Amino acid sequence: MDSDASQRLDAFLASYDASKTRSLYKKLIEEGYVKLNGESVKASYKLNAGDEIELIEKESRRFEKTPMDIKVLYEDDDIAVIDKPRGLIVHPTNDDEISLVNFLLYRFASLSDIDETRPGIVHRLDKDTSGLIIIAKNNEVHEKMKELFKSREIYKEYITIAVGTFKGELTVVDKGIMRDPIKKIKMCVSDEGKEAHSEIHLLKQNDEYSYLRVLIKTGRTHQIRVHLSYLNHPVLGDKTYGYRGKIKMDGHILHCRKVSFVHPISNNLISVESDVPAYFKEALIKTNLYKAKDLQ
């Protein structure tokens, strides 16, 4: 190992095993699955001559393959785009939870495994947020899709219903978002938070509610819900961020309707759009934004 002295531990491991990326080795090191001279160290540790590296086998998590009524709206050899229903978590927090992962393993023969607990998952939607999710079928495209998200080269369009009325057709929110220091399950607007940009387009409104199209260039946790709450226009049904209205909803009303991006392998433009789901149409009727006959 003399010739590898002063090299970072994660970089060294990735250079000797092309089946795993440097970021994956970094995660394994942080989780304690790599020991150096019998001890845990950081991924940035600089190797010295004579160092002994031990790799501890990570027990694979077992997920049941579960059929579900979920639409696959686009698919090729590398990528799929699925339409996640409302009320389904993307990946489980414990072994007993049924999630989108169970369906992905049932539906697709190959999925990326950069994170073995989240096969194929490049990005997420909240449990009660429905709509489009991009799935990676291999590790190469997974890493490339992550870069597209990071460089904000993926177009993401949502629709939602918010409380109250807007003065103009376009409202832009450029406010950083961070985890709430008091209520850890929430996020909040803060100058110390990560940059977050939302473009809120008014589609229709009445005296009490507004039907909105929201474009997000960043993808912060709960971004749309937080920004609308900051404007005192909480999302319909979103009790976490201030909804206290008279209309009872089983969770918040938010749907990812469209995604567009340049395919990282073929370089073709991929644009996928989903239909407005039934629960969303029901909310439009309950808020008197539309009549039932107008949504048939």
Residue 224 CA to residue 210 CA, distance in Å, equals 14
Catalytic option among 78, 126, 128, 238: 126
- Amino acid in the structure at residue 149: F
Is 126 a residue of the active site?
A: yes
SS (H, E, C) 181-222: CCCCCCEEECCCCECCEEEEEEEEECCCEEEEEEEECCCCCC
Residue 254 CA to residue 151 CA, distance in Å, equals 24
- For 47, other C-beta atoms within 10 Å of its C-beta total 19
Per DSSP, the three-state class of 100 is helix
Give the β-pairing of 129-136 and 254-262.
parallel
For 272, the token pair is 């996928």
For 100, the token pair is 């989108």
For 78, the token pair is 């590398």
Residue 159 CA to residue 274 CA, distance in Å, equals 11
The residues that are catalytic are 126
